[in-house]
Structure formats: structure tokens, C-alpha cells
Chain A
């Protein structure tokens, strides 16, 4: 049990162990991610409202520090950066020298990772490991990362982690997990450890053990959160979507609304596509290759064999069926964790759960 007034003890202990701390910060009306030094830096007393294509943060003076959910950014930018240099080449008279860039392997603690995002980190790790067994840059970055999960207490209208089995509380994939109990009379966190490094940090905190009352309060928070989740996705129908509805007329309806902007792929915590870009200086003496997040909504994305997904309907279908169906064939699980970002941050308000329900003819929970 960690009293709120001693939260900085946790932050200090992590900092002393050599971790840079990254957590939720309020920037221009959006809860983003940034460097945190003290509990003071957290967005306190605020709540967020999510709807398809709409997002607002308001201060409601609530006593909690984590009474909101995931924002626009996901943690993938720390493990799979939006842009990174792969190598540089320098030419000097007749000699060309190549210098590989070692990917950044900073020790970092991610603070306040929600259940859905804990699951997303594990999914991306499996993807990159499948392509590059045992030696992916993602795996190397993850090995240097300490994950502090937080159980959601106030799910948003766009959340559907319960359908995807990823939240609102994380049950594995973290080093430490916290449940926040906040009211006008008391404010504390109940801790769970999820790894050896998590236990080492917890030991240094010399905490009072949680009483039965504390633990009951914590499970009440998660229980209430489960009940607050309104949105659902039929996971079985999702898995069959690609096989059952490749030509459903609904794809065309979505295609008419979709802007092909790629926001959904950028905010999705599991999307992993990238492209390589070469640049060269004007005097021709130095060049570099960079890896940049790409999107299956770009026209030049699927050039393999000269096939371009010309219609927007087919691009959305590629995206949605990859997330929900074909990811199973590739990686043995669903590619969606139910974080709802693609719904909130789609400027056209296209809602993956509603689209599936319209095609599968079923909105209910899995049988």
C-alpha cells in the first residue's frame, strides 16, 4: 500500500535505479505522454470524454490522479519510434564508409500504462520477434523498459478492453501495477508486482502491507470499471470477418466516409508498418536511411507485385481484417486490444466496433 503523499518515493526510487520516467501529461487539452519528475506533473483532477471523432478533457476537481484513460499517443513511440536512423554512409573520394546506428537503448520507466496498452506492448513484441527472433530492436528497447501499469477506474465510452480480454486491469506484462483508491477522505495505491525487477523496486519502497480492506477497495475499483464499459466487440465474429464478409456492401459505405488519412494506424498501439527512406546530401558525400511509421492507407503502401489497393473501401478492409482476422493466422491472436483510439481519433468518426456489428449482425458479447 502506497499512500498518495508518498508517490514521489516510487518515482524517486525508479529514477535512482537509472530509469527516465515517462507518463501522462496534459498538453493543449490532450492527455499526452512526456517526461515526469514528480507526482505534481501528472494531470490531476481531470476527466476525459471520448466519442467517435471527438475528445475533450475537463477538470472536474476529482480527487484522483489517473481518472482518465488512454490519450492520442501510445507507448509505441518509446519502443518503436516514429522515425529512426538505421545507418549512415559517408563518401570521401573513393571510399564509402557505412556506420550502423545503434538504436537508442535508454532505460525508461513507463508510468501509468493501461491494461489495453500493456497487452499492446506484448503483441508488438511478438510481432517484431516473429520477424527477427531474439534480436529485434523492439525487444532490445523493451528489455530496458520498466512498466508501471495502472488499473482503469473511469473507462471511456470508446473502451472495449473487456471484449478483447486486455483490461480494465492488467494481469500480466508489467513490472509493477497500481490500483488507485481516491475519495475526499483517503487517497492511496495498492501495488502488485509482476516481475523480479518489479519486486526489487517494491522492496526498496518498504511499504506497509495492504490490509484486506485495501485489497477489497482495489477490487471494487476494477469491478466498477468493468461494469462501466458500454462498448463491445464480438471476438469470434471478428476472427471470422475476413472469411465471412470479404464482399459485404458495408465496405463501400465505409469507403465513402473514410478520408484515407491513416490516423487510425498512427494511433493504434499495435500497428507496426514502416517504410525505409533514403536521404542524401546535395554534395553527394553522405547519405542515411531512416525507418518511418507507414500506413496501409497510403496509396503507395501495397506495391508488391504491382497491386495497389486503389479503392478506399479495400484499404479499410485490409486494415480492419488484418487487425481482427488475419492477425490470428499470422501471430496466433487478435491484433486489437480494444483501446478505442482508432474510434476517438478518426476525424470521420468511423467506429470499428459498429462496423463489425453491422457486418456480423451481432453486437453482443462472445458466446
Chain B
């Protein structure tokens, strides 16, 4: 145990795992600069390919999992990671809802592969991109594309202190209002997914006069049909509404429902 770290707190053995994703969320963790120094005093990084090639075997206290499940091999790999981890945290839109690659879930197998890859027959992939929680038990989820580094640090700090991490609930609107940003939807008829989206980003988009595009995914009380109706009342066509819902969290149940309600 290092001398700097307070005596009564145990060190955490941390692993970071990557599935289908862009690495943006892991970069958020690397981007925590000086906080990482404090992190080093409290946490042993046992597996983090983005940062180091050294890898220690499990079991691990905490596994951070980035990315979605898109291959059979990954389906098996996530099971092994779960068995080795006391706590498993899914980080980012890919891990929590399947990510933008989950758009393929809505189309026949192969459509996307044929468009994207020169030799589609060599691509071994499932027909869906699914969130981690659909495969194993997930203890905590961090939303966003990418995740907010403050949220990530706050979560690790709580776990390291033996506290029960508080997951933010409620809509982006509440952060927007607490900050006092003018509502772009009411004052400028700008489409905004804030009322349906999990808070945590601090309402960054409305702060810059733009509508929220839902990168944190649906909040736990998300009202997809009411949200779709509100956007329709704003004058958005079905196509425009679908484009809004079908981005980073397209495969989440509420956002899917918002789109299906039109097709019905």
C-alpha cells in the first residue's frame, strides 16, 4: 500500500474491456489527467489495453466495459469477464444500448455488411448489436457518447470509498433549468430530446443553443410516445422524428418504441 493513500481504504483492482466501439469512452478515462494521479494511489489497473500492454489475471474488483456485443466470440468473452468481476460497469452508449451500430438491428442481416466491407463473406458478425446488460448482469451503467469524465471519476471514487454510487436520474431538462439556459424548444421551436433523455451531461447542447440529441439515452421514466407527439406538434415529419431517435441509442426500448409507434 502506498504511503499517500489513507490507511483505512483498500485498493481496487480495475480492468477495462473493449467490445464493439470507437474507444472514445476509454479515452475519457485517460483524459482525466491529474485525477489519474489520485486514481493511481487508490486503484491498480490490472487490464487496460488502451493505456498499457501489461495485463494481470482476474479476479477484478471492478470491470469497466466499453462497447456492444456484435459477435459470437464476444458473447462468450463477456460471460468470462462477468465471472471474474465483483462489479461490472457498462460505460457509454454502445455498452448501455448497443450504440449507433445497433441501427443494423432494424435491417435484414447483411445489408450493412455489404455496404461497408469489400469482402462481406469474411465478416463474421451477429445480426444485432446489443447492450452488455442483455448478456450479463450489469451493476452500474454510465451513459453518453462518450461518457462524461466527471461522471466516470465520481463513480470510481464512490466505489473506492465503499459508498453506493448515486446514479443520476431525471431529464436533461432539469439540468438545463437549474443552469438557467433558455429552453430552445419552447422559445425557438428547436427539436430537443432533453425531456426524454437521462441527465448527466449538464445540458451541454441547450447551453450552446442546440437541441439535445439524446446521446445519454432514455431516462428511466422516458415517455417515448409523448416525446414523439411533442416533436410532431413542433412540425417534425415522421422521417425527421425517426432520425432524432435513431442515433446513438437507437436500440434502446423507449427510443425504438417512439419509432415503432409511427409504423404501427
Cβ of B132 under 8 Å from chain A: no
- Residues of chain A within 8 A of B38, CB atoms compared: 281-283
A349 at the interface (CB under 8 A from B): yes
Asked if A32 and B183 make an inter-chain contact with CB atoms under 8 angstroms apart, the answer reads: no
Interchain CB contact under 8 A, B230 and A347: yes
Q: Across the interface, which residues of B come within 8 angstroms of A94, CB to CB?
A: 7
B185 within 8 A of A: yes
Stretch at the interface among B50-58, B173-181, B244-252: B173-181
Query: What is the distance, in angstroms, from B213's C-beta to the closest C-beta of chain A?
Result: 15
Is B6 a contact partner of A259 (Cβ separation < 8 A)? no
CB within 8 A of B221: which of A91, A256, A260, A293? A260
Please report the C-alpha to C-alpha distance between residue A297 and residue B196 in the assembled complex, in whole angstroms.
Answer: 12
B163–A282 touching, CB < 8 Å: no
A170 CA to B247 CA, complexed, in Å:
49
List the A side residues contacting B158 at CB < 8 Å: 280
Is the C-beta of B45 less than 8 angstroms from some C-beta in chain A?
no
Contact B171 A262 (CB under 8 A): yes
Contacts of B7 in A (CB 8 A): 93-94
With CB as the reference atom, state the residue of chain A lying closest to B5: A283
Given contacts A94-B7, A279-B154, A344-B186, are A262 and B173 in contact (CB under 8 A)? yes
B223 in contact with A312 (CB, 8 Å) = yes
Of B4, B166, B209, B223, the residue contacting A260 (CB under 8 A) is: B223
**A residues 22-41 in Cβ contact with B at 8 Å:** 27-30, 32-33
Taking the complex as formed, is B194 at the interface, i.e. its CB lies under 8 A from any CB of chain A? yes
Q: Does A54 contact B (CB under 8 A)?
A: yes
Is B185 a contact of A82 with CB atoms below 8 Å?
no
**Contact call B170/A284, Cβ cutoff below 8 A:** no
Taking a contact as CB atoms under 8 Å apart, the answer to whether A258 and B188 are in contact is no
Question: In this assembly, does A8 line the interface, its C-beta being within 8 Å of a C-beta of chain B?
Answer: no
Query: A86-109: which have CB < 8 Å to B?
Result: 91, 93-94
A residues in contact with B221, CB < 8 Å: 260, 297-299, 312
Question: Does A56 sit at the interface, judged by CB under 8 A?
Answer: yes
Contact of B171 with A345 in the complex, beta carbons under 8 Å: no
User: Is B173's CB under 8 angstroms from A282's CB?
Assistant: no
Contact of A282 among B153, B185, B225, B230 (CB under 8 A): B153
Residues of B within 8 A of A287 (CB): 161
In the complex, A283→B7 CA distance in Å?
11
Interface residue from B35, B171, B188 paired with A261 (Cβ < 8 Å):
B171
Any B CB within 8 A of the CB of A300: yes
A331-354: contact bitstring with B at CB < 8 Å (1 yes, 0 no)? 000000000000011011100000
Chain A residue numbers with a CB within 8 Å of B6 are: 91, 93, 283-285
Is the C-beta of B20 less than 8 angstroms from some C-beta in chain A?
no
Contacts of A278 in B (CB 8 A): 163, 166
A313 to chain B, nearest CB (A): 11
> What is the interface size of chain A, counting residues whose CB is below 8 A from a CB of the partner?
53
- Interface residue SS majority, chain B: helix
CB contact list, A229-285 vs B, under 8 A: 256-263, 266-267, 277-285
> A262–B183 Cα gap in the complex (Å)?
13
Asked if B174 and A347 sit within 8 Å, CB to CB, the answer is: no
| A345→B170 contact, CB < 8 A | no
B residues in contact with A299, CB < 8 Å: 169, 220-221
Q: Are B226 and A257 in contact (CB under 8 A)?
A: yes
Interface string of B95-123 (1 = CB under 8 A from A): 00000000000000000000000000000
The residues of A that contact B222 with a CB separation of less than 8 Å are 260
Q: What chain B residues lie within 8 Å of A294 (beta carbons)?
A: 170
The reply to whether A261 and B173 form a contact with Cβ atoms under 8 Å apart is yes
Given the interface pairs A282-B153, A282-B156, A285-B6, the reply to whether A260 lies near B178 with Cβ below 8 Å is no
Question: B187 — which chain A residues lie within 8 A by C-beta?
Answer: 28-30, 55-57, 72
Write out the residue numbers on chain B whose beta carbons fall within 8 Å of the beta carbon of A283: 4-6, 38, 41-42
- B161 near A284 with CB under 8 A, answer yes
Judge whether B226 and A348 touch: CB under 8 Å: yes
- Verify B182–A82 contact, CB threshold 8 A: no
A 174-193 to B, binary, CB cutoff 8 A, 1 in contact else 0: 00000000000000000000
Q: Quick one: which of B153, B166, B185, B225 contacts A347, CB cutoff 8 A? A: B185
Contacts of A292 in B (CB 8 A): 178
Complex CA distance for A30 and B182, rounded to whole angstroms = 6
Nearest residue in A to B150 (C-beta to C-beta)? A279
Residues of A within 8 A of B179 (CB): 82
Which residue from A28, A33, A284, A345 sits with its C-beta under 8 Å from B42?
A284
Q: With A72-B182, A312-B221, A345-B186 in contact, do A260 and B171 touch (Cβ < 8 Å)? A: yes
Cβ-closest 5 pairs across A and B: A266-B177, A261-B195, A82-B178, A30-B182, A259-B195
- Extra 13 A-B pairs, beta carbons < 8 Å, given A27-B182, A282-B153, A348-B226: A29-B182, A29-B187, A30-B183, A82-B179, A257-B229, A260-B171, A262-B171, A278-B166, A282-B160, A284-B9, A284-B161, A293-B174, A347-B195
* 19 residue pairs from A and B, CB less than 8 Å apart: A32-B180, A53-B233, A54-B189, A72-B182, A82-B179, A257-B226, A259-B226, A259-B230, A260-B171, A260-B223, A263-B183, A266-B173, A266-B174, A282-B157, A282-B160, A284-B5, A347-B192, A347-B230, A348-B230
Residues on B facing A (Cβ under 8 Å): 4-7, 9, 35, 38-39, 41-42, 153-154, 156-158, 160-161, 163, 166, 169-171, 173-174, 177-180, 182-183, 185-189, 192, 194-196, 209, 220-223, 225-227, 229-230, 233
Q: Which chain A residues have a beta carbon within 8 Å of chain B's beta carbons?
A: 27-30, 32-33, 53-57, 72-73, 77, 82-83, 91, 93-94, 256-263, 266-267, 277-285, 287, 292-295, 297-300, 312, 344-345, 347-349
